[in-house]
Amino acid sequence: MAIKAVTFDLWDTIVDDDSDEPKRAARGLFSKRDQRRHLLWRALESEAPIPLAAVTLAYDTADAGFNLVWKELHINWTVEQRLRVALNGLGRSLPAGALAQLVEATGRMELEISPDPIPGIAGALAELATRYRLAVVSDAIVTPGRNLRLILEKYDLLRYFSGFAFSDEVGYAKPHRAMFEAAAAQLGVELREIVHVGDREHNDVKGPHALGIRAVLFTATRPDDKEGTTADAVCERHADLPAVIDRLAAAVG
């Protein structure tokens, strides 16, 4: 079948994950990890005193549970679910309004101080969009899909995409087939008509391959999986990506 669509991972494929951390440090702010814990501690402290160390331990435990479910069951807990796990471990609760504000503040951190787009992505998307339908297929680890769209819009990249499969909206995480099926349905294509681009061998290469989707390993910011990859192609910079996709499409066609 002809290649009609290209799907993209977001983190370390479209934007440079954690490139926002130096920006936070330059402003004298906590790291994202520490700020999330501080936000929960501050919300609880406003209700009744509690040691920051206890909050940190509870948050760490909730994150460990999140990672287990994410890696083994391919499900992402929402920010609210993760916070509820930490609160349960502390034997504490928050008023509904305070919890909602905490969820919102946590989910906006990467929107307010955003990671940078990877050089060349705008040009690659602009060219690819003239020949293929494009979608984002990405896990929403902390930032919800609605705010990830706003990050893309901030960098004038949103307009190139016709579909979005974010894990908090789909209910599963990559490499679960539901993520790729959601994107295919929005784009109006079959799974075998897609090429997926991402930086992780397990999620972005082996996962798509299991569904009959061709895969490009993108290594500009995260080359960890380059050696021994089973990807159909490897791309080191976005300037080369349209040609890489076109070669795969020609081989199929």
| C-alpha to C-alpha distances, 239 to 4, 9, 15, 155, 219, nearest whole angstrom | 20, 17, 15, 17, 13
Amino acid identity of 149? R
8 A C-beta contact, residue 137 and residue 173? no
pTM: 0.95
Which residue, 63, 60, 101, 54, is CA-closest to 81? Answer: 63
CA distance 27 to 203: 34
Pairing of strands 233-235, 214-218: parallel
What confidence score (pLDDT) does residue 217 get? Answer: 98
Which residue, 146, 147, 135, is CA-closest to 174? Answer: 135
Residue 20's SS3 state is coil
Amino acid identity of 146? R
Give residue limits of the domains in the chain. 5-17+115-252, 21-112
Which residue, 183, 182, 177, is CA-closest to 206? Answer: 177
Over the stretch 51-82, which tens digit does the pLDDT of each residue have? 999 999 999 999 999 999 999 999 999 999 99
Residue 230 DSSP one-character state? -
What confidence score (pLDDT) does residue 1 get? Answer: 74
Q: What is the mean pLDDT of each run of 10 residues along the chain (253 residues)?
A: 95 97 98 98 98 98 97 94 98 98 98 98 98 97 97 98 97 97 98 98 97 98 95 98 97 83
CA distance 11 to 28: 24
CATH of domain 5-17+115-252: 3.40.50.1000
Residue 194's SS3 state is strand
CA distance 152 to 110: 11
CA distance 221 to 14: 10
What confidence score (pLDDT) does residue 252 get? Answer: 86
Which residue, 152, 141, 138, is CA-closest to 218? Answer: 138
Radius of gyration of the chain (CA): 19
